[in-house]
Chain A
Amino acid sequence: MMARKGDPRRGEYPGGHSRIPATDVSIDDSGSYLLRCELPGVSREGVDITLSRNELTIKGSRSQDEDGRLIVQEIPREEFRRTFILRDDLDGGGIEAKFDLGVLTLVIPRKGIKSQSIPIDGNGE
């Protein structure tokens, strides 16, 4: 299970506030971990994913502001930021990322498990 690190509610981020993106974590049938991380209003270019040792950090800043006077504001202005600790058996080098409808999906495979097609013995009898 991946732990979350750096909870800003506990003051663990130095230098300003950030917004914690809502994230689902799941495991698929090959043992890979999937993160689905909501980054609404962030463009593809505005997403920054870094891996430092086993710390996976996702950051995102909103691309642009509207003209006009803001008369109702419920959407936080802070940039998105969240760090996950990868388990030792996860392969940080093999992460695949996809970004669609404001949701970043990361697939983190298990170490040493390569996806490959497995031949089925027999000749179709």
Chain B
Amino acid sequence: MREGGNSRGHLGSESDVGGTTGDRSVRCFLSECGWAPPVDIYQSDTELVVLVELPGVDREEMELHISGDYLTVSGSKGRGGAEGEVFRRMERNTGSFERSIRVPSPVDASAASASLAEGVLRVVLPVAEEQKPRRLEIEKGS
């Protein structure tokens, strides 16, 4: 498959998972789904933020699931256009899409939230309490 740098270069098998980073925690299962949107994942001490590029897809046209270690976004995207409109160039991905990523560290799925702005889905997964860094007190020696 193509190297990173092109959002449409991620249609592929498991051999090209992980995009440009080579991170095997990202898995893209494409069996019957048409295309897979690219993602970025940010990690901080308190949360994991997953960004998914889905331009032209409205909230009602996508579904988000978290099951076990896997976060999955799926849905369908129309090309738009009025009756009588004739397309001369079609570069945009349309039709059904699906993308799964393996969440790289334990999160509190019940407190997960998601928002959609400017064609980017942003999923916030709070880090599980026991995974948060904490300060250890050093006991006074006798």
Contacts and interface: CB of A to CB of B under 8 A. Distances in A.
A24 B57 CA distance: 15
A42 B15 CA distance: 30
Contacts of A25: 87-89
B89 A72 contact: no
Interface string B3-46: 01111101000000011110101100000000000111111100
The 4 closest A-B pairs by CB, nearest first: A102-B119, A74-B19, A68-B44, A102-B55
A111 to B, nearest CB: 18
Contacts of B107: none
Nearest to B105: A71
Interface residues on B, range: 35 or more
B91 A22 contact: yes
B80 interface: yes
B136 interface: no
A120 interface: no
A76 B7 contact: yes
8 contacts: A27-B86, A28-B84, A39-B118, A69-B42, A70-B42, A74-B40, A101-B118, A102-B56
A57 interface: no
A66 B49 contact: yes
A74 B38 contact: yes
Interface string A73-104: 11110100000000000000000000001110
